[in-house]
Structure formats: structure tokens, C-alpha cells
């Protein structure tokens, strides 16, 4: 009698602005999957999700115990998003789960890492069911044999990837971006200047002789493989990394460590990374969210004046969210939250705006709208922009690219026009 090897089911689950990912993940964690996935009931699952990573980081912080990073001197929190995913996957594969849930697994991974992960998952899929939450259609794993759409909390099977994926997004309104209330003075043309800057952690070389200058009004894309030092480079600019002291690093014309405070630096910058949205879980209205960008505060604790309210209104009208001005931030879809957070970072027209993986986890339509806004801000302002992404985003129009290439002695940087 011939025995037939059991075929494992693999699901690709499309998510967009309407999707309640947290609820879906919770149903799997607590053993109550939707009917099409009942074959997973009472099965052991492993989660490659941001929530799982946050759990491990909190445990490391709370107990000063290295759970996933025993192979390196780095803590999990000090790693880039892509490096964290690799570490968590390595830990998952040490066990033998019945299924693995992958939440946008290719976000924050460089192209080589994406290809490597796909090959590894194809092998894993022979023995383990894979569930892939997908924001971008081009990320669909080739072995996926079932499709669904997560609409709110509803799990809806699909016949093909083209059906049931309307995100219901607004579009940008016409007109130029609102001007600042008070233009920021800048006496030097160069805003950021690295001169032969190197960084080393223990016996690991991170950056090697970096030379990079960002001038007023330039639009840069910062690229590089996972672990190449992009996070280190950015943290030196924002003032959150002490490695900048004692080196030829100049911020807004002043050498690092010659008397400037971190708050003086931050008031000249705007910064956004998707993790920031977690800091604004309170009951802040959209109006107050935008105005708080003028005061660099988490929330608004003083009554805004008429000029500030008019400015907030102009920005909210531009991004099509004026009718939600009295809604609370946590009531918005993730895509709408990203737009508001980027507007908040830009509202004062900072000398420098850093956008760190702003499209991570966004569906195709939401990312397209965000890219449109970023291009518009770069084109219609004197703010210098640094856009960090592992993806080649269709439609992004940077002037220049700065790319970090890894070498045994640390990453070296090269710049080129687009």
C-alpha cells in the first residue's frame, strides 16, 4: 500500500487599512481560529510578529537577560528592525511548531535577506503550515495555496489576489503644502556633515570612515543591508547615540559635543518611524496631534491659538482628514495615522526631516499615498529629507542616494544621484 505524504496548507492573508491584525493574531494565540483555519485548532504555533519582538525586548529590559541574542554582544533593542526579525526566526526554527504566522515578513529586510528568507521558508513549508499576513501583493510567497482578506475582524477567503482588497483611502487635495508659522533660521548651508567618522562596538566594526554631507533642501534616500549601520548613522544625527562625540560630526553647523543640547538639535528636526505611533495611544484629537508637532510634545497640554489651529486645519485639509479633526488619533486606520504623524513631523518645516521606514506594514495603496505626500513636501519646501527604506518604492523621487556597503572593517558609504 502506497502512503501519500500529507500536504500542508499555506495561507496568504491580505491586510490593509481595515484589517484588525491584533484580533486575528489573538484568535490564533488562544486557539480559536476562524472556520477556514480550524485545522490549526489545538496546534502549536510560532509568531514572527512585531508584538512577539516587543515582548522579547521588554523581557530583556526587565530582567537584563539575553533571550534571543546570546550569540552577540548586542541587545535586541539596539538592533535594526531587520536584524531583530532574523534573530526571532532563528529562535523559532529551534522548535518544531505546527504552524508559523509571518506578519509582513519582508518589511525591514534588505533584498538579499528577502531572497534568503524566501528560500528558507520554502524548505520549512514542506513540514510546517505557513500563514503569511501580506500588505504588498508582490510579497506573496510562491508556495501559498490559499488566499484570504482580513476585513476588520472578518476572515474572508478569496479566489485570487485581485479581489476584495479595496483600502478605501482618501487622496491628497490640490494646493501647495502650508507654510510654517515661523521659518527656522539657518546660517550654514550644510545641515549634517560626517567627516571620516567611524563607529565600533566592542570588536565589531560598524562604520568605516564615513563622509556624508546633507545640504538644505536636499532629498536623500539612505540605503544599505541589514546591519550595515543605518540605525547607528541616524541615531548619531538625532543625538541619541554617544558615538558622535569626539568625532568630526557637524549638526547644523556646530561640531557635536561643543555645547549644544539634545533638545536644541531635536527642535530643528522632524522624525518619524512607525514605532512612534504607539506613544500616542491616548485621546488626542487630530487637531491637537498636528499642533503638538510645533511644541515637540507627546500630546498637547496648552490651549492652541488661532494661528496654530488654522495651520492644523490647512494640513488636515491637504491630506483629506479635515472632517475627522475632532476624532481621536487611535480611532484612525493605520494608514491615516501614518499621514498624520508625518504631517506632525513636518508642520514646523524643520531644517531636517528623517523618515525611517515610513511605509513598513502599509498596503500598496496606502504606501502610494504616503509617497505622494513625501515627494510633495520635498518639492515644495526648503526642508532636507532623509528617507530610509529597504524597498524600492515606486514613485519615490529622491535627488540623491547614500548607500552603506558592508566590509570586514565596517560599512563604507557611497553617494550617487538617482
pLDDT digits 0-9 by tens, 330-358: 888 888 889 999 999 999 999 999 999 99
SS3 label, residue 216: coil
Which residues in 15-52 are b (16+ Cβ under 10 Å) and which e?
bbbbbebeebbebbeeeebbeebeebeeeebbbbbbeb
Q: What is the pLDDT of residues 378-410, one digit of tens each?
A: 999 999 999 998 778 889 999 999 999 999 999
Count CB atoms within 10 A of the CB of residue 228.
Answer: 25
Asked if residue 5 has pLDDT above 60, the reply is: no
Can you tell me the mean pLDDT for 18-32?
Answer: 89
Bridge pairing between strands 269-272 and 400-405: unpaired
Answer for the pair 379, 296: CB distance below 8 angstroms, yes or no: no
Q: pLDDT above 90 covers what percent of the chain? A: 51
Beta bridge partner(s), residue 193 = 213, 250
pLDDT score at 298: 63
Asked if residue 209 has pLDDT above 50, the reply is: yes
Q: Crossing angle of helices 50-63/81-92, nearest 10°?
A: 90
Asked if residue 201 has pLDDT above 80, the reply is: yes
Distance CA 14, CA 164 (A): 9
Lowest mean pLDDT among 288-292, 302-306, 341-345: 302-306
Q: What is the pLDDT of residues 41-78, one digit of tens each?
A: 989 999 988 788 888 888 887 877 767 767 676 777 77
SS3 label, residue 222: strand
Map grid coordinates 476624532 to a residue: 327
pLDDT score at 162: 63
Asked if residue 4 has pLDDT above 50, the reply is: no
Distance CA 133, CA 104 (A): 6
> What order do you get walking across the sheet with 254-255 strand by strand?
204-215, 190-201, 249-251, 254-255
Distance CA 153, CA 20 (A): 5
Can you tell me the mean pLDDT for 157-170?
Answer: 64
**pTM for the predicted model, two decimal places:** 0.83
* Residue spans of alpha helices (H) in 11-110: 21-29, 50-63, 81-92
Amino acid at each position: 500500500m502506497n502512503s501519500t505524504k500529507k500536504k500542508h496548507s499555506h495561507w496568504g492573508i491580505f491586510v490593509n487599512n481595515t484589517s484588525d491584525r491584533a484580533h486575528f493574531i489573538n484568535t490564533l494565540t488562544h486557539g480559536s481560529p476562524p472556520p477556514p483555519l480550524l485545522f490549526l485548532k489545538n496546534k502549536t504555533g510560532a509568531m514572527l510578529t512585531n508584538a512577539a519582538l516587543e515582548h522579547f525586548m521588554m523581557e530583556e529590559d526587565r530582567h537584563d537577560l539575553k533571550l534571543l541574542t546570546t550569540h552577540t554582544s548586542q541587545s535586541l533593542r539596539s538592533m535594526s528592525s531587520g536584524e531583530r526579525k532574523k534573530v526571532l526566526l532563528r529562535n523559532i526554527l529551534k522548535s518544531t511548531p505546527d504552524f508559523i504566522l509571518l506578519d509582513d515578513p519582508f518589511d525591514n529586510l534588505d533584498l538579499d535577506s528577502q531572497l534568503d528568507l524566501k528560500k528558507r521558508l520554502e524548505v520549512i513549508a514542506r513540514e510546517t503550515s505557513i500563514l503569511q499576513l501580506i500588505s504588498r501583493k508582490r510579497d506573496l510567497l510562491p508556495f501559498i495555496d490559499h488566499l484570504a482578506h482580513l476585513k476588520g475582524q472578518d476572515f474572508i477567503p478569496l479566489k485570487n489576489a485581485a479581489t476584495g482588497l479595496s483600502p478605501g483611502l482618501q487622496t491628497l487635495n490640490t494646493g501647495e503644502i502650508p507654510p510654517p508659522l515661523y521659518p527656522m533660521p539657518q546660517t550654514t548651508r550644510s545641515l549634517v556633515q560626517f567627516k571620516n567618522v567611524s563607529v565600533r562596538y566592542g570588536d565589531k566594526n560598524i562604520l568605516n570612515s564615513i563622509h556624508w554631507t546633507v545640504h538644505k533642501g536636499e532629498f536623500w534616500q539612505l540605503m544599505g543591508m541589514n546591519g550595515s549601520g543605518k540605525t547607528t548613522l541616524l541615531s548619531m544625527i538625532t543625538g541619541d547615540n554617544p558615538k558622535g562625540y569626539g568625532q568630526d560630526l557637524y549638526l547644523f553647523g556646530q561640531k557635536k559635543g561643543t555645547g549644544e543640547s539634545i533638545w536644541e538639535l531635536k527642535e530643528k528636526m522632524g522624525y518619524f518611524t512607525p514605532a512612534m505611533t504607539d506613544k500616542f495611544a491616548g485621546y488626542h484629537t487630530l487637531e491637537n496631534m498636528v499642533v503638538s508637532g510645533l511644541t515637540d510634545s507627546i500630546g498637547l497640554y496648552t490651549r492652541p491659538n488661532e494661528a496654530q489651529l488654522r495651520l492644523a486645519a490647512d494640513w488636515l485639509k491637504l491630506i483629506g482628514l479635515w472632517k475627522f479633526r475632532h476624532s481621536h488619533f487611535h480611532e484612525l486606520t493605520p494608514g491615516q495615522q501614518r499621514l498624520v504623524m508625518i504631517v506632525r513631523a513636518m508642520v514646523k518645516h524643520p531644517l531636517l526631516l528623517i523618515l525611517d521606514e515610513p511605509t513598513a506594514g502599509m498596503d500598496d495603496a496606502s504606501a502610494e499615498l504616503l509617497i505622494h505626500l513625501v515627494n510633495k513636501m520635498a518639492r515644495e519646501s526648503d526642508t532636507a529629507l532623509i528617507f530610509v527604506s529597504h524597498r524600492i518604492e515606486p514613485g519615490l523621487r529622491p535627488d540623491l542616494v547614500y548607500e552603506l556597503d558592508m566590509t570586514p572593517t565596517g560599512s563604507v558609504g557611497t553617494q550617487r544621484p538617482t
